[in-house]
Structures are given as structure tokens and as C-alpha cells.
Amino acid sequence: MEEASTIITELRQMVSVQGDPSSRIAAYMVEGLAAKIASSGKYLYKALKCKEPPSSDRLAAMQILFEICPCFKFGFMAANGAMIEAFKGEKRVHIVDFDINQGNQYITLIQTLANQGGKLPYLRLTGVDDHGGLVMIGLRLEQLAEALKVPFEFHTVASTTSLVSPSMLDCRPGEALIVNFAFQLHHMPDESVSTVNERDQLLRMVKSLNPKLVTVVEQDVNTNTTPFLPRFVEAYNYYSAVYESLDVTLPRESQDRINVERQCLARDIVNVVACEGKERIERYEVAGKWRARMTMAGFMPRVMGPNVVDMIRKLIKEYCDRYTLKEEMSALHFGWEDKSLIFASAWR
């Protein structure tokens, strides 16, 4: 331990959060290792990610991350495209979202619907939230929908995700039900953490509601069941690609980039590297593992429509030719060079 602490002190002098991508990723990985040695990972993570609603700084940083790291944005766009295709022929649609975040995905969805013209379905959106932070977001979405003449209502379910029961969601006959899981499922502990497998339990509960569509958008990396060393390597390779892609979008000295990396990515890195058991909340899984979970819960994959794929292909060209889009086993993989970062899939 002493030797490790000495090495960490040396490493801290050699890395910088303002350096090139490899120096920046190293800076945060070193903090993760320091936290692991000090067993302070969980405290550090809690300091970085409190249970209260995220701070305005963090929300602003997440907003920027989704804008500048297009893989996240493409994930949301793919889910929205699949949802809009599922709206066809429906008079009333009910979307249930277990992590609405800032509601940006639905701002885009409402705008896209408004541009379609014709008779729009009546849209009801339910957000699950355990800290009461969704009231303002709901208000903002309702005002936008009203301005754009999209028939819309917003509800919240005050509960943690694992305790949500079908009766809380107020699903009504005559409504097409859509469930959206965007960057949410990896926070649910599975059988490797506790005897109650909350991850699969949630998927089975959603299947019991008989939804017309379920969308899953996740980071394509395994930080769930891997032991420490391979997990460290996996996280390093994954986040190195993310950091490199950020370098192309934002200049080195950009305060926005520093904020994004500190507020959004550093927390996740520290949690992945430093925490074990229940304390490790960022438990990502690769696309194939989610496919197995969804199939086991009784879902069938649904191919993303060509319109969605074409639209995203056009957009990717506007960013940088090192971003990639691959279609694999009915899912879309968004990546940086040969590294898949985010995947989006649709199920029924």
C-alpha cells in the first residue's frame, strides 16, 4: 500500500486535467486508484454525485456532453426515431421513462412530432423520479408542446425505480405503451450484487405491461461483473476513446470540456475503478449482454427503420469522419474509430 501511495504521488505530478487526452484520462484514473487505496471511492463518488437533484453545474455539463459527444446524442435520436415509428396509427400514446434527466430527449421528440403535421396522437409522458426534481422539467415540456400544438400531458411517479409497480404507472386501455430506458438500466444492481436481481426484475415488470415498444440506450462496455484489473483496462480503453473524441469537438483550453470531463465522466471513472459491491453504481454491460437480458425477459428485437439510420448517417458526416455507425443484430452502434461507445436498440 505504501509503495502504491508513493507511485500515485509521482503520477499526480505527471498528469493534468488540461493536458492531451491520455494525460487527462490518466489524471482521473489516478484519482480512482487513490480512492481505491484509501477506500474512499464511495465517499468521493457521493461528493461528486449527491442523491439530491443534480446541481445546475452538473446539469449544464450533461447538456454540453450530449451536444458535443454526438454518440450520446445519436443514442437519443435513435430511440426517438424508433418511438415516432411506433406512434403510427395510434390515437393515444403513453411513454414511461425511468430517467428523464433534463427532458432534452423529449424536447426533440415534441419538436419532431410538431414538424410532422397531420393528426398527431395524444401523448402522455410519465417520469419516474425519487427526488421531486421533475416538476420544472414537466412544466417546460408542457409549455413547449402547447406552443407547438402537440397534445401532451406530463405526470411524475415519486418512487425509486426498483419499487415501481404496474399500478403506479396508470397505464390505460386504448393507449400504446412505450418504455424508454436511456442510460438508466446500468444503475440497477443485478445478480452479481445482491440476491434480488433488480435489473432483470424491472425488465420482467415492464414486459408484463405489454408495451408496444421498449427502447434501450446504453454505454457499450463491461464494468459490471469484471474483476478489478480487466475492469480498469476496459474503463481506460473506453474513456480514452471518449476523451479523444471530445478533443476533436472542443479546444484543449475549453472550460466547457473541463467541466464536462469533471462533472460527468470523472465521477463515473472513479466509481468504476474505486468501488465494489453495492457502492459500484456505474455497472455498464455490453450490447450482447443486454440482448440476452431482454430476450430472457420475453422481448423480441425490433429493427430500427431505414429513415432513422439514414438521418443519423447524414448527421455523423457533419461531425468528424472518425465517428462510426454500425448496424449489428438489430442494434445501432455509435463509435469512435473502431471502438463502439454507445448502442441503441428497440424491442417489443
For residues 201-220, average pLDDT = 98
Report how far residue 212's alpha carbon sits from residue 216's, in angstroms, rounded to the nearest whole number: 14
**Residue 52: per-residue pLDDT:** 46
Could you state, in order of their start, the residue ranges of all structural domains in the chain?
Answer: 2-66+227-279, 69-220+284-347
Report how far residue 236's alpha carbon sits from residue 341's, in angstroms, rounded to the nearest whole number: 13
Which H or E element spans position 311?
A: helix 306-319
Q: Place 139 in a pLDDT band, splitting at 50, 70 and 90.
A: very high
For residues 212-227, average pLDDT = 96
For residues 175-199, average pLDDT = 95
For residues 232-250, average pLDDT = 92
**Residue 159: per-residue pLDDT:** 93
Both ends of the chain: CA-CA distance in Å? 50
pLDDT tens digits along 100-112: 888 989 999 999 9
Query: How many CA atoms are closer than 13 Å to the CA of 330, on its beta-carbon side?
Result: 17
Q: How far is CA 159 from CA 39, 127, 130, 154, 179, in A?
A: 30, 10, 5, 16, 16
Report how far residue 40's alpha carbon sits from residue 29's, in angstroms, rounded to the nearest whole number: 14
Residue 128 grid cell: 419516474
Report how far residue 227's alpha carbon sits from residue 277's, in angstroms, rounded to the nearest whole number: 11
**Residue 110: per-residue pLDDT:** 97
Report how far residue 293's alpha carbon sits from residue 72's, in angstroms, rounded to the nearest whole number: 22
**Residue 319: per-residue pLDDT:** 86
Evaluated on CA atoms 15, 18, 22, 24, the torsion sign reads positive
Closest to 330 measured CA to CA, from 295, 292, 303: 303
**Residue 229: per-residue pLDDT:** 96
For residues 128-153, average pLDDT = 92
Q: What is the mean pLDDT of the chain?
A: 91
| pLDDT over threshold 90, residue 19 | no
pLDDT tens digits along 81-98: 999 999 999 999 999 999
| CATH superfamily of this structure's domain 69-220+284-347 | Vaccinia Virus protein VP39 (3.40.50.150)
pLDDT tens digits along 256-273: 888 888 888 998 999 999
Max avg pLDDT among 23-27, 28-32, 207-211: 207-211
| pLDDT over threshold 70, residue 49 | no
**Residue 142: per-residue pLDDT:** 97
Report how far residue 224's alpha carbon sits from residue 206's, in angstroms, rounded to the nearest whole number: 22
What is the number of residues in the chain?
Answer: 348
Closest to 157 measured CA to CA, from 203, 185, 201, 126: 126
Residue % of the chain over a pLDDT of 70: 95
Spatial contact of 94 and 176, defined as CB atoms under 8 Å apart = yes
